Amino acid sequence: MWSRCSLAVTLAISAVAMASNAAEAVAESNVRLFLGNWAGYVVRGPVHEVSATWVQPQIDCRNPGVLQRVVPWVGLNGATALDGHVALPLMQTGVESLCASDAAVYAAMPGLQVESVAAGLSYVDAHLAGTVMNVGAKVSDVLGAAADGLCALGLLHESCVPDKTLDAWWEGYPDPPYAYQDVQVRPGDTMHSTVRWDGGRYVMTLDNRTLGWSRTTVAPSNAPADTAEIVVEGHLDAALPGFDPITFTDISIDGRPLSDYDAQTYGIAATDRLLVPGPVQGSSFTIG
């Protein structure tokens, strides 16, 4: 399982400039779009609990030289709070669908090492951490594009054959992620995630409602929850795999539907396309 540099590295841009149909929908609603490695919605707090349900998508590995990730998750913290600071730690749980060939792994390693350095800087200077993370992402992008080109020419042979993996996980970023090694997730499984802060600890629960298992992790922390996220994550500045549309349903933030909040819209400017969420409809929205 890959280190998940999940701190929101975002850039506010004019939605009017977007060319795709999804971005045009954002533009028509006159919202501000934040670009980074998340696509979905962020609510700025204070908050105590967020939960949502989705169906884990089937993915299509289209760029064999590039690590490609689609990661639906729910979490608290990680974005910029109302007072302007980046809320940490980011407590989250979800499922990662990953395309990883040997060529992609080797190409990604230098950039991932830089992004690990960025994680270590998060509490020291969140903006510096974001800058360093962007550098790591650019390194991965350049090397991944080179590896993908060699794969397209047929020069790396079996090294270009991607493996598909699915991992159920939780994370307290900037600490590394942890996979639940004793459970299985399949494309098409219905997942439900809840993250709650009770004043002294974060409780993260991930349920597979199709296979009937549930896993809960408790992480002590006095740091309050100042943002809530319902997002799909991709690797920063990399290609996204093809994937079935993901609809988040049963979204609840402190017992209220997402439509009750003035949520911020986040999008992924991937190297192969722009990914932004569809409009909020009560307690649901779709990405795909």
Question: Domain containing 26 — which CATH number?
Answer: 2.60.120.700
Rounded-to-integer distance, Cα 258 and Cα 279, Å? 11
Q: What is the pLDDT of residue 230?
A: 98
Determine, yes or no, domain membership for 210: yes
pLDDT surpasses 50 at 263: yes
236, with CB counted inside 10 A (0-12, 13-18, 19+), is buried
Rounded-to-integer distance, Cα 52 and Cα 73, Å? 9
Share of the chain above pLDDT 90, in %: 81
Q: Which of 9-13, 80-84, 202-206, 279-283 has the lowest mean pLDDT?
A: 9-13
pLDDT surpasses 80 at 236: no
Determine, yes or no, domain membership for 5: no
- What confidence category does residue 189 fall into, taking pLDDT thresholds of 50, 70 and 90? very high
Using CA atoms, how far residue 75 sits from 58, 109, 224, 254, in Å, is 22, 26, 13, 13
Range of the domain at 173: 11-287
Domain count, the chain: 1
Q: What is the pLDDT of residue 288?
A: 86
Dihedral sign of CA atoms 63, 287, 21, 11 in order: negative
pLDDT surpasses 60 at 9: no
Determine, yes or no, domain membership for 103: yes
Q: What is the pLDDT of residue 27?
A: 52
pLDDT tens for 10-42 read 443 333 344 345 555 555 555 689 999 999 999
Determine, yes or no, domain membership for 6: no
In 3D space, the residue among 149, 181, 145 whose CA is nearest the CA of residue 165 turns out to be: 181
Mean pLDDT of all residues in 59-80:
95
CB count within 10 Å of CB 186 equals 11
Determine, yes or no, domain membership for 162: yes
| Contact in structure between 51 and 66 (CB atoms under 8 Å) | no
The pair of three-digit structure tokens given for residue 244, joined into one six-digit string: 């079935």
Q: What is the pLDDT of residue 126?
A: 85
Determine, yes or no, domain membership for 2: no
pLDDT surpasses 80 at 221: yes
pLDDT surpasses 90 at 206: yes
Determine, yes or no, domain membership for 235: yes
Mean pLDDT of all residues in 204-223:
98
pLDDT surpasses 80 at 4: no
Mean pLDDT of all residues in 168-182:
96
pLDDT surpasses 80 at 279: yes
In 3D space, the residue among 28, 5, 29, 34 whose CA is nearest the CA of residue 269 turns out to be: 34
pTM above 0.75, yes or no: yes
Average pLDDT, the chain: 90
Q: What is the pLDDT of residue 85?
A: 92
Determine, yes or no, domain membership for 3: no
Question: Apex CA 81: angle with CA 75 and CA 87, to 5°?
Answer: 55
DSSP one-letter string for 28-95: HTT--EEEESEEEEEEES---EEEEEEEPPPEE---TTS-EEEEEEEEE--SB-TTSSBP-SEEEEEE
**Helices then strands (H, E): number in the chain?**
3, 18
